[in-house]
Structure 1
Amino acid sequence: MSARRLAAKACLLASLVLAVAGCGGAAPQAAQFVPPAPSTTDLSGSLRARYNLLPTLALGEAVAREYGVERDEGTALLVVALRRVGADGEETSVDAEVSAEAVDLGGRRQQVALRKVATGDYVDHVGTMRVGRHDTIRVQVGVVADGRRQQFDFQRNF
């Protein structure tokens, strides 16, 4: 093989190596920590709402039984717990009326029928709703406690 031909092959090989290196994009970066979505909100006075919306399949059997829900792939459990925060930071259960409506990105609305469930010394408001894979759900919660109506909302991605 001639020197000229060998040089041409070397040049072609170098060009291919550079082309392939350019296809890789940016160098890999370390994963960034994404903090969990907030799950509490302080309402007026000393009233605090703790909430979550999670797939029922994520519940253990004992928890599903305690809340009286069936574990199902297309169902999520909404839990809203209202607590009064004392001066010492101690939380006690609050008697209240709670309502909720869920809206997905397509604009489909679901009224979530909530019922009270006693969990130890506390009362939680729980209800189930239909969700699909890759849904983004915005939940609007209404609370009537101490004669006052208050609202908050939050979003969860599935």
Structure 2
Amino acid sequence: MPRLPTLLSIALIALAGCSAQETPRKAEPVQAQAGYTDLGGLRVHYNLLPTLAMNDAVARSYGVQRQADRALLVVALRQLRDGDELPGDGTVLASATDLSGKRQQVALRAVRTGDYTDLIGELDAHARDQLRIDLQVSSANGAGNVRFQRNF
């Protein structure tokens, strides 16, 4: 029986360690990773990021207000020719669906960036949202659906 007090002491120390709670930390937003998909001779670049992740200059250049609970969808169409990406054009229909099934259509508008035109659209994106984006792309150089997901 002399081992019983030692075992109880070890058990109490172990339980005390389990009850210690870590101090809550401020959540840090994770930068969304840009991606692309090739549809025939068309490359579709896409990204979805919180508007607060943009600096003021970029937000101004896109005509977007930086706000909590808002995200920016950026879609860029590029024509592939001999390994180069040239300005491309076409139509893109975009929608976003969260895990609860709530769907929102994303109105895209053209924004000129140098020699290229990108399509951008704003949508609701709350903390801890997981959004599935569906792009329906149509162009003379290629067409198809592009799907990707982002966590906030």
TM-score normalised by structure 1 residue count: 0.78
Shift of 1:11: 4.8
Runs (4+) off by over 3 Å: 18-25
The CA distance in 2 between the partners of 1:93 and 1:99, in whole Å, is 19
Given that 2:131 and 2:151 are in contact with CA atoms closer than 8 Å, whether structure 1 keeps it comes out as yes
Shift of 1:22: 8.2
Question: Which ranges of structure 2 fall in alignment gaps of 5 or more residues?
Answer: 19-31
Partner of 2:132: 138
Identity value in percent:
45
Distance 1:113 1:156, change over 3 A: same
Secondary structure in 2 matching 1:13: helix
Distance 1:100 1:13, change over 3 A: same
The CA distance in 1 between the partners of 2:16 and 2:86, in whole Å, is 59
The CA distance in 2 between the partners of 1:83 and 1:114, in whole Å, is 17
CA displacement 1:49-79 (0-9 Å, x = unmatched):
1101100000010110111100000100000
Given that 2:136 and 2:144 are in contact with CA atoms closer than 8 Å, whether structure 1 keeps it comes out as yes
Distance 1:49 1:24, change over 3 A: farther
Tell me which of 55, 80, 85 is aligned to 2:80: 85
Computed over aligned residues only, the root mean square deviation of the Cα atoms, in angstroms, reads 2.4
Partner of 2:99: 105
Partner of 1:154: 148
Shift of 1:46: 1.8
TM-score normalised by structure 2 residue count: 0.81
Secondary structure in 1 matching 2:97: strand
Tell me which of 67, 70, 75 is aligned to 2:62: 67
Partner of 1:96: 90
Question: Which ranges of structure 1 fall in alignment gaps of 5 or more residues?
Answer: 1-6, 26-35
Shift of 1:117: 0.4
Partner of 1:13: 6
CA displacement 1:119-145 (0-9 Å, x = unmatched):
011111000001111000001001110
Tell me which of 11, 31, 35 is aligned to 1:39: 35
The CA distance in 1 between the partners of 2:98 and 2:125, in whole Å, is 9
